[in-house]
């Protein structure tokens, strides 16, 4: 029993000690409660190696040369790391067992004296990231981690069914995973496999450059589905920051017309190059406008006049003549708000510059005036934002750190079921609608989409 409590290292946040279960050996355990979002560790690699090691002889020589530059205790610490390949040369085998990638695009990997001690779980409570600014590997808590709880990361970089996960871990890491997900009942594992496979399929679709351009709004619906699946699966490292809802007054995500890039302008604020001749959006931006006037143009196109957040009149040409008979023209009407993702200024429009929409999925119409949407955004921001770790009750306006969430919209929270909700129903009704909900769940960073906090709306406004 005393041997199991042996501690190699300890600080105020975590300790490296023997952990029970499946011959894990050492692991990293929380020395005190670690709140969600806390940076647990930031560590530079002891040695760096190319991911493709080449011959084992050259790898052994390279590792020995690197270790010789450190005091003896560092070499001792390296040789005490886990070795999943006991039949191979020890130094090389330890590197193969413990090396972690130094970023998704890096050709190098690193071996760490401490970070290499994190054990694997298919449902980890922490996430590792290579921080290029620090030139270190950082590990952050995905959830609140209690004192004495083992801190785990996910060795696998892609979602997969249990069979494929087990095979990948056995092939690359030489162990069989017995985490809570892999040890679940047969029925639970089957449901999990379906979710994991669908999430990976959706991820492949939404990260396609072609999909971003051809069907941006369809992408948002797929992202919403991913969030719901990830929530049901218990995947924690995708969640958004504490303030998770879009602020429609934010000019970074929702710029006015004058701040849009030109049609042929390679703005580094909005685009990043993919090669010498092409570029792709580096973030999402959306133009919001009140529809003031709608006219039938030549050939069946729609000539729309909108007013943006700065009360600027902007002409919008909707090439409805090319959309086919499935396009419902009646949705484009005054008193509504038009939502245009990835808009650019078209300088070739007759009269003054405007925006051209040439795809039916290149915009959305919301049956609400822009001013009403901005006021709704203000309420969402006021009641959903954290203030000293607390949120405001949408019923009585009191602040609390333990609120009950509305299961109708998942945007507003309450102290308890007795708080008045008469003013909540109109907002809840709007936010239950997919188009409104997706707008308020937008995030300016494309890579953050899959990490946004999920929410599965229901048909009624109740409190849990």
Please check whether residue 348 lies inside any domain of the structure. Answer: yes
Collapsing DSSP states into helix, strand and coil, what is residue 202? helix
Single out the residue in 370, 385, 406 at which a domain terminates: 370
Single out the residue in 370, 388, 404 at which a domain terminates: 370
Binned at pLDDT 50, 70 and 90, residue 57 comes out as confident
Instruction: Looking at the structure, tell me whether residues 300 and 325 fall in a common domain.
Output: yes
Instruction: Looking at the structure, tell me whether residues 355 and 380 fall in a common domain.
Output: no
Per-residue pLDDT for 454 more than 60? no
For the segment 42-63, the average pLDDT, to the nearest whole number, is 80
Taking Cα atoms as reference points, which of 284, 289, 290 lies closest to residue 216? 284
Binned at pLDDT 50, 70 and 90, residue 1 comes out as very low
Q: 152 or 462: whose pLDDT is higher?
A: 152
Q: Comparing 38-52, 75-89, 226-240, which segment has the lowest mean pLDDT?
A: 226-240
Asked if 287 and 354 touch (Cβ cutoff 8 Å), the reply is no
**What is the spatial distance between Cα 257 and Cα 248, in angstroms, rounded to a whole number?**
14
Express each pLDDT in 60-103 by its tens digit: 888 888 888 999 999 999 988 988 888 778 888 898 888 888 87
| Residue whose entry in the numeric block shows the structure tokens 């709704």 | 376
Instruction: Looking at the structure, tell me whether residues 356 and 383 fall in a common domain.
Output: no
Instruction: Looking at the structure, tell me whether residues 325 and 375 fall in a common domain.
Output: no
Encode 161-178: b = buried (16+ Cβ within 10 Å), e = exposed. bbeebbebbeeebebebe
Is residue 64 within a helix (H) or strand (E), and if so which, with residue range? helix 56-67
Q: CB neighbours of 430 closer than 8 A, spacing ≥ 6?
A: 368, 376, 436
Binned at pLDDT 50, 70 and 90, residue 425 comes out as confident
Instruction: Looking at the structure, tell me whether residues 261 and 366 fall in a common domain.
Output: yes
Range of the domain at 338: 257-370
Asked if 435 and 364 touch (Cβ cutoff 8 Å), the reply is yes
Q: Positive or negative CA dihedral for 9, 12, 17, 22?
A: negative
Binned at pLDDT 50, 70 and 90, residue 245 comes out as confident
Length of the chain in residues, anyone?
Answer: 464
CATH label of the domain that carries residue 296:
2.40.50.140
Give pLDDT, residue 389. 61
Instruction: Looking at the structure, tell me whether residues 386 and 366 fall in a common domain.
Output: no
Please check whether residue 274 lies inside any domain of the structure. Answer: yes
Q: Positive or negative CA dihedral for 440, 446, 452, 454?
A: positive
Residue 131's DSSP bridge partners are 136
Asked if 345 and 352 touch (Cβ cutoff 8 Å), the reply is no
Express each pLDDT in 367-407 by its tens digit: 999 999 999 999 988 887 766 667 788 878 888 765 677 77
Instruction: Looking at the structure, tell me whether residues 270 and 363 fall in a common domain.
Output: yes
Domain count across the chain: 2
Instruction: Looking at the structure, tell me whether residues 375 and 365 fall in a common domain.
Output: no
Q: Comparing 126-130, 208-212, 319-323, 396-400, which segment has the lowest mean pLDDT?
A: 208-212
Other CB atoms within 10 A of residue 289 CB: 26
Please check whether residue 35 lies inside any domain of the structure. Answer: no
Asked if 444 and 224 touch (Cβ cutoff 8 Å), the reply is no
Instruction: Looking at the structure, tell me whether residues 413 and 332 fall in a common domain.
Output: no
Q: CB neighbours of 203 closer than 8 A, spacing ≥ 6?
A: 159, 226, 450
């Amino acid at each position: 029993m005393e041997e199991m409590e042996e501690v190699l290292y300890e600080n105020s946040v975590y300790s490296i000690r023997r952990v029970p279960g499946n011959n894990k050996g050492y692991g990293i355990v929380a020395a005190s409660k670690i709140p969600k979002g806390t940076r647990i560790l930031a560590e530079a690699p002891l040695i760096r190696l190319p991911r493709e090691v080449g011959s084992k002889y050259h790898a052994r020589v390279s590792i020995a040369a690197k270790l010789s530059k450190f005091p003896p205790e560092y070499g001792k610490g390296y040789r005490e790391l886990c070795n999943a390949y006991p039949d191979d040369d020890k130094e090389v085998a330890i590197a193969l067992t413990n090396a972690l990638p130094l970023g998704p695009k890096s050709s190098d990997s690193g071996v760490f004296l401490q970070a290499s001690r994190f054990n694997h779980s298919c449902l980890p409570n922490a996430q590792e990231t290579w921080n290029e600014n620090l030139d270190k590997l950082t590990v952050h808590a995905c959830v609140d981690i209690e004192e004495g709880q083992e801190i785990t990361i996910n060795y696998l970089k892609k979602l997969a069914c249990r069979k494929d996960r087990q095979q990948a871990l056995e092939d690359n890491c030489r162990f069989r995973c017995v985490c809570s997900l892999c040890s679940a009942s047969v029925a639970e594992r089957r449901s999990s496999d379906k979710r994991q496979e669908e999430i990976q399929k959706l991820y492949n679709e939404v990260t396609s450059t072609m999909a971003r351009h051809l069907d941006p709004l369809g992408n948002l619906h797929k992202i919403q589905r991913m969030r719901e699946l990830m929530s049901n699966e218990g995947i924690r490292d995708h969640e958004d920051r504490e303030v998770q809802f879009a602020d429609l007054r934010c000019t970074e995500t929702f710029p006015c017309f004058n701040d849009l890039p030109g049609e042929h302008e390679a703005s580094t604020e909005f685009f990043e190059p993919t090669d010498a001749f092409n570029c792709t959006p580096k973030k999402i931006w959306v133009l919001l406008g009140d529809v003031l006037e709608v006219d039938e143009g030549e050939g069946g196109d729609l000539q729309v006049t909108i007013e943006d957040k700065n009360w600027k009149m902007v002409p919008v040409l909707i090439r409805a003549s090319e959309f086919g008979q499935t396009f419902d023209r009646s949705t484009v009407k005054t008193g509504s708000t038009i939502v245009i993702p990835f808009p650019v200024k078209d300088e070739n429009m007759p009269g003054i510059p405007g925006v051209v929409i040439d795809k039916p999925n290149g915009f959305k119409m919301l049956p609400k005036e822009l001013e009403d949407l901005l006021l709704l955004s203000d309420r969402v921001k006021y009641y959903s934002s954290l203030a000293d770790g607390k949120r405001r009750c949408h019923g009585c306006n009191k602040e609390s750190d333990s609120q009950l969430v509305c299961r109708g919209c998942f945007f507003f929270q309450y102290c308890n079921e007795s708080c008045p909700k008469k003013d909540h129903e109109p907002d809840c009704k709007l936010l239950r609608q997919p188009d409104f909900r997706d707008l308020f769940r937008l995030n300016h960073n494309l890579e953050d989409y899959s990490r946004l906090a999920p929410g599965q709306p229901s048909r009624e406004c109740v409190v849990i």
